[in-house]
Structure 1
Amino acid sequence: MNSILRPTALVALLLAGLMTAPQASAQQGRFIDVTDNRGGNVLQMVQRRSELERSGKIVRIRGYCRSACTILTTLPNACLGPHARIGFHAPRIPNTQIIPPYVDQIMGNYYRAGIRDRWFGGWNRSMEMQVITARDYVRLDPQARICDSIRP
């Protein structure tokens, strides 16, 4: 039996154990609120992102969205709460400092403009959380928007 794993098999094994499962979102009428989401497994968040995009509802990112949650910020039907904070750090295997291969690339493919530049400029390798406000996020990614359905 070959003891060397193919890169895709290795990534799948690593991603299976990445962080924790994404937190549930509250659904109300025409909105889906993603509030204080800690992120979790990147592949699970990619799947959740697809579900949210297909929902036909406005996805409001509120509170503190960090880690894998950040890939939701570029949903075409998403907006950022005026007091939201967005936190970026290197993806890593839970309870370690090990950055698995390819995962930062998967995440980076969801970012745009200045956010993408900062991600690949070092946030993708930082063990410390890089936190920005919703307004700073919009300055770095002008396609993002602040929710007009949430009063500041």
Structure 2
Amino acid sequence: MTLHIQPEMKEIAASLRAIRKQKGLTLKEVEESSAGRWKAVVIGSYERCDRSLSLNKAIALAGFYEVPLDQLLGLTSAMNTVVPDPGRTIIDMRAVAGLAHTDDLIQILKAFLTAIIGKRRDWNGEVLSLRAGDLSLLGIMLGKSESNVHLWLIDNGLILGLAR
């Protein structure tokens, strides 16, 4: 039996935003560097799930960003995914503390981080380093691939130095 995990629209939108940010582009810079082909308001709408992204547009946008289509759409399986920073991911614990407890994924994240803090006896309180293995385990807990976990953390403003 093969398990197929389909990303939600929010995950695709988060992937679009994260890739743009990894390229170091603002929405305005996307419009400028594409010579107006990609309007800032349109890209922003895709990233907020306010507008549907057709397959043709997704293919063209992947070409513009110079990334594979499956990466752009967050479809890469956990088995062959390369995590953007395989060493360490620095979590801003102050940002985590400011998150509402209403989302199930946030509750899972907070419980996971609390367990790591306790296991490592890392009571610094301001930042926490996640290793590649931590991201893999968190991905299993959240039902996401490692790279989608990384993108989700970026989208939620939780990685130190990578604001939304």
Q: Which has the higher helix share?
A: 2
TM-score greater than 0.5 by the shorter chain: no
Q: Give the TM-score taking structure 1 as reference length.
A: 0.31
Q: Higher relative CO (CA 8 A, sep ≥ 6), structure 1 or 2? A: 2
Q: Which has the higher strand share?
A: 1
Larger Rg: 2
